[in-house]
Structure 1
Amino acid sequence: MFALIAVLIFFMFRNGKKRQAAMQELQNGLRPGAEVMLQSGIFGTIEAIDEAENRVTLRSGTSTFDVHRNAVSQIVTPVDAPVEEAPMVGLAPDDDPEFGERIAKTEGETPAADAASEVDEVQNDIDSDDRGTEDQGGTPKA
């Protein structure tokens, strides 16, 4: 008789953990754009999630609802995880530039030529800024 009670208690804990795991999976899948069904049977699309207040803004047809997160009973159409950016074309993982080295923008352009043109542009900007400014004595620079 004690063994039967122990087995029943074991199954109660096991089912509780399964329910918690399913609820956690549901909460992790709530993202803007996902189509969900509320416990009341209303279908809608998630527009925003407020983590601090545990509210979900749901659009159903022309209406918008603010409901508690726990009111969502199931995700009908999940939103895919954000796609990672594609790596730069032409660079293999082992072709990373060294610290301070620049990557050529076009195939014929070298990093040294790019750096030299950048230095010339910066120097021209500095020269044009100095022409119209006055030093602290109030006399214009020549």
Structure 2
Amino acid sequence: MDAPTAIMLVLLVVLIFFIFRNRRKRQNEQAELQTKMVPGVELMLTFGIYGTLVSIDDAENVAEVEIAPGTIIKVHRQTLGRIVEPVVAEVPATETGIVGSSSDQPRYSLNKDTAITSNEPSFGERVDPNTDGTPSTGTDKS
């Protein structure tokens, strides 16, 4: 057996190994997801709708999901995408224990206009050459 053939066989074996490994991994993830799919769990459907699982019919492959209080939709079981875990945001603690008391944190005013302004004319706006270069309003006729 020559070297290129041996390299190709080794690459084929490695490829087959990764294919089987990924398939087994996906099967384990699907099995874990199916054990967590019980009525009352918050979930997201594969097309982006969030709701609460009401019931699953294994024989019909149908699930009922409550997307709003009193609004229940019937979907195929394969559209149950993932379980939504509650997100707990960590609050950074400062030395004093009070958030936002540090002087190194910038303070922003919500009512203050912080937009970057420019005196350059917008696209299609005319500039009066007799002034300081600010855009003209178009009301004065010369």
Q: What TM-score, normalized to structure 1?
A: 0.52
Question: Match of 2:75?
Answer: 67
- 1:37 paired with 2:44, answer yes
Aligned residue-pair number: 78
- 1:17 paired with 2:24, answer yes
Specify which structure has the bigger relative contact order, considering alpha-carbon pairs within 8 angstroms and separated by 6 or more residues: 1
Question: Match of 1:28?
Answer: 35
User: What are the residue-to-residue correspondences of 1:128-139 with 2, within 5 Å?
Assistant: none
Question: Match of 2:9?
Answer: 2
Match of 1:53 among 34, 50, 60: 60
Q: CA deviation at 1:37?
A: 0.5
Q: CA deviation at 1:71?
A: 0.7
Structure with the larger helix share:
1
What SS does the corresponding residue of 1:3 show, helix, strand or coil?
Answer: helix
- Percent of aligned positions that are identical: 46
Contact 1:34-1:77 at 8 Å conserved across structures: no
Q: What TM-score, normalized to structure 2?
A: 0.52
For structure 2, list consecutive stretches of 5 or more residues without a partner in the other structure: 1-7, 87-142
2:65 aligned partner, one-letter code: L
Distance, in Å, in 2 between the alignment partners of 1:7 and 1:36 is 37
Distance, in Å, in 1 between the alignment partners of 2:58 and 2:52 is 17
Contact 1:56-1:68 at 8 Å conserved across structures: yes
